[in-house]
Structure 1
Amino acid sequence: MKDLDLEQTVDAVRRFADTAPLMRSAPLDRPGPSAALWRQTPRLRLFDGHRRRFLAVSLRGDSNLEQIVGGRSVWRGAVRGTAILLEPGFECDWRFTGNFEMLQIYLGPDFEVAAERAAGLTSPFRDPVLWQYATTVAMILREGSAAAPALPPLLESVQDYFQWKYCRAERAGDDPTGLSPSVRRRIEAHVRESLGRSIRVEEMAEIAGLSVGHFGRAFRQSFGLAPYQFVLNQRVALAQSLLAETDLAVADVAAACGFKGSSQFGALFHRAVGCSPRVYRKTA
């Protein structure tokens, strides 16, 4: 049976983008998440008319973005690497200054988000795990029918991760103590600026003013990952960007991202992305 809410949502994006999607996942034989890859061009236009909740993750390209709600600018910045949750019925104007690719993941029809949690996700935010998922989904879409069987479980994983990270209710026994927003920003900036070298948990804990043990617990509560995994995700995300957008040799990419040689880089990159750096460069 045709999913009318999904088709109306895709039609709304098609009207906004003035074009059909570059690629789209095949229809599913059961309700679940699906995806489409779009190319966006410079414009200022209202987006409305969608009936399915979806995630939009900005991938390749060089554009700034401005979100305008009720005639007021509520967010502006570089679009690459951002994600946003588009709730059914949510209307706003978007201004794009350049060309870029955007992956949209249409969440399953039974996927629910509490209103108070959704409110914090309807302006662009950055999540390196979501971005890695999105780049992998886009790569599989580009591979075509041969790789199509890999998409449904991957999209289910994206939806599960998003629900766990942003939509879960507080559970009895959860530690409510995390890092403050200002400390989170300092940690994120420190990691971004230090990816070309070894990053020790001790130095991150020092920035937060916490013991290593306390910092590890607070970091997990705030980011949903151990510090080591967060840093690794950032290294892989930077490597994906350099492989796609520069002609640097693979060994130089490994060094720029703080990996200890090409062998370690290849193994960790393959584990995170599902293919080797060279294969990723050919398909990116």
Structure 2
Amino acid sequence: MRFAMKLRKQFFSVMIALTFLLLTLPLRASAQTPDRLTALKISIWPEYDKPSVLVLLDGVLADASNLPRPISVLIPADARLYVTTWENPNGSLAPEQPAQQTRQDDGFTRVTFTTAQPRFRVEYYHDAVRGAPDKTIDFAYKSIGALDAATIEIQQPLKASNFAVTPATQTTRTDPDGFKYFVQTFANIAAGQTISAQIKYTKTDPNPSMPAPAAPLPVAANESNNWFLLIALVALGLAILLGFFLLQQRALATRPAAPTGSRNRKRGKPRAGAASVFCTQCGRALGADENFCPKCGAKRRAHG
């Protein structure tokens, strides 16, 4: 009898231990999931600097070990990815990181990139504004992993009126730039769960709240290039002229001078011994020692 009671107690003890293990197993598995987030802030800015919706995802990884490592988030399939990066310990953002995008069948695109810190940032633009001047935005965020706490902060455009969010937001705030924010909070979001919000407002002005800064005109760059080209051409021309001048000076310095004697001979008197007597018969010039003309044989006439 005592032995049976002992076995019964051991059986109940084992069953209680197994039950506790089964209940805590999902929590342990969730804690070890690399995609689990302790916090996620979703900032939704309609018509901020473009006519579309700018969405910023600021997340915190639950597992801060094994960094850097790749992480993934989901964005709408027709959204335009803008930034994937991480937040440094001092609060600044690291340079933009390359990302791989894989389109899924559920209307979302999986964005994967490597983060070196537990805090990360993803930004994208989504053409989700419908209607005018009464506008509607249907927002949806699908969580890949479990999410402990999520905050949705929706910015009202500066020139919008009749602004409303469904489900209703819990709090509002206004920043120094005059933007009003509507805030919703969620807790214990399961993997694969979708958070949704519908935004409605009236806005007749088609311009965004903060127009993007104009890109620098290419003309300024062309003018700068033209100045460099002009300076280079002038320098090249001066170098060519200087080289030509130096060559001319070198050529004049090395040219041989004409002999002085040859110039004097051209302008001087006839050489000594040159013929000055002519034959009276044929007119041939006679040398000083010729008494008879070698041509006609006439005798040289004596001069008195």
TM range (shorter): under 0.3
TM-score, normalised with respect to structure 1: 0.25
Q: Counting helix residues as a fraction of each chain, which structure ranks higher? A: 1
Q: Counting strand residues as a fraction of each chain, which structure ranks higher? A: 2
TM-score, normalised with respect to structure 2: 0.24
In terms of Rg, which structure is larger?
2
